[in-house]
Structure 1
Amino acid sequence: MEGTELQPGAAVTASGRVSVAQMYEPPAPSGPFTTAQLARLDEALTLASRDTGLEFSIYLGELGDDSRAGAESLHDTLGPRGDEVVLIAVSPGERVVEVVTGSEAMQRLPDRGAKLAVMSMVASFKEGDLIGGLISGLRMMSDQAGRDPHAD
């Protein structure tokens, strides 16, 4: 082994074996968003939930033949905490947006406000701006719901 030049990241162990370090490259995200876009979306979800006291959630994927029933079924999986949840379900392949509100959330986010937010989201989606549409819709719904009445 003496006189042999080792590649960068390689070392000869005490037993004489050559150990080589290799660079680990995590797999790239396979979803529709970059890491930066996901961070923006997470921040928008956090702010909307913190400001209103409601929990906002986004589902992106297939909703089935009856998109409303599919979205309501997703909302039902939230159990008792679903009363304060606003679920925004988007199926780009089916070109459908559904908003499902729990009983408490429904009192604070009127249907009209949700519809206006959906119209804004759809306009952005048509321009190919999925992340911008979601963030804009979240902000509009948060504004409609208003501040958390239980906040100090």
Structure 2
Amino acid sequence: MSGDHGDHGHGTVVDPKDLPEGSNVTLSGRVSAAEDYAGNPPEAEPFSPQQLARIDEAMMLASRSTGLRFNVYVGDLGDDPVARTGELHAGVEGAADAVLIAVSPGQRFVEVLTGHDARVRLPDRSAKLAIMSMVASFKEGDLVGGLLSGLRMLADQAGRHAPIQHVGIREQIVV
């Protein structure tokens, strides 16, 4: 799933029956779609369409409020989860401003990886606090709740995105 949500213009009406598997129309009318990464073995889907919509909505809100690109990956991360998380993050458009939450329930692995620019607003300490919150939910069997909590915490820690304002420079010469 990706936090990049395209243009904000007018859309077309979509019949939910015409959507591909893994897609759902959210309450706001947006289409939420999960993406399979190549190389993942087919497994039972970990989320219902409603759960996917909730996660997608949380990513969208976090991305909009902070100006960072939030992404969530849930699945097997191979023999070297740390390296695979780095590869996934590097493949995200605008990786410098991206935040990736990678969770591999079968491997009991959770990582929050931030790009260079995102790290300024989300230091390691903030990521660790979000991971601790997520893990507490995961231990209770609440994968969705943990992801939602983590996204909210990370967005809160990153703070609001202030639009860039161009301020004129006035020079004074004191004689």
- AA at the equivalent of 1:77: G
Equivalent positions of 1:93-132 (< 5 A) are 93-132=106-145
Unmatched runs of 5 consecutive residues or more in structure 1:
1-23
* Residue 67 of structure 1: aligned partner: 81
1:46 positional shift: 0.5
Aligned partner of 1:92 among 84, 100, 105: 105
Hey, which of these two has a bigger chunk of helix by percent? 1
- AA at the equivalent of 1:59: Y
User: Number of residues paired by the alignment?
Assistant: 127
Distance (whole Å) between structure 2 residues aligned to residue 89 and residue 110 of structure 1: 17
1:31 positional shift: 1.2
CA separation of 1:144 and 1:27: change in aligned 2, threshold 3 A: closer
SS, match of residue 102 in structure 2: strand
Equivalent positions of 1:8-23 (< 5 A) are none
- AA at the equivalent of 1:61: G
CA separation of 1:49 and 1:151: change in aligned 2, threshold 3 A: farther
Distance (whole Å) between structure 2 residues aligned to residue 151 and residue 144 of structure 1: 20
Q: Structure 1 length as normaliser, TM-score?
A: 0.77
Answering whether residue 142 of structure 2 is matched by residue 150 of structure 1, we say no
Unmatched runs of 5 consecutive residues or more in structure 2:
1-16, 23-43, 166-175
Distance (whole Å) between structure 2 residues aligned to residue 35 and residue 145 of structure 1: 28
Distance (whole Å) between structure 2 residues aligned to residue 70 and residue 32 of structure 1: 20
Distance (whole Å) between structure 1 residues aligned to residue 79 and residue 57 of structure 2: 32
* Residue 76 of structure 1: aligned partner: 90
* Residue 19 of structure 1: aligned partner: none
- Residues 97-121 of structure 1 show CA distances to partners (whole Å, capped at 9, x for unaligned) of 0111111101110110100000000
Q: Structure 2 length as normaliser, TM-score?
A: 0.68
What percentage of residue pairs aligned between the two structures are identical?
60
**Stretches of 4+ aligned residues off by more than 3 angstroms:** 26-30
Aligned partner of 1:45 among 59, 65, 77: 59
* Residue 4 of structure 1: aligned partner: none
* Residue 57 of structure 1: aligned partner: 71
Superposition RMSD in Å:
2.0
- Higher Cα Rg: structure 1 or 2? 1
1:151 positional shift: 6.3
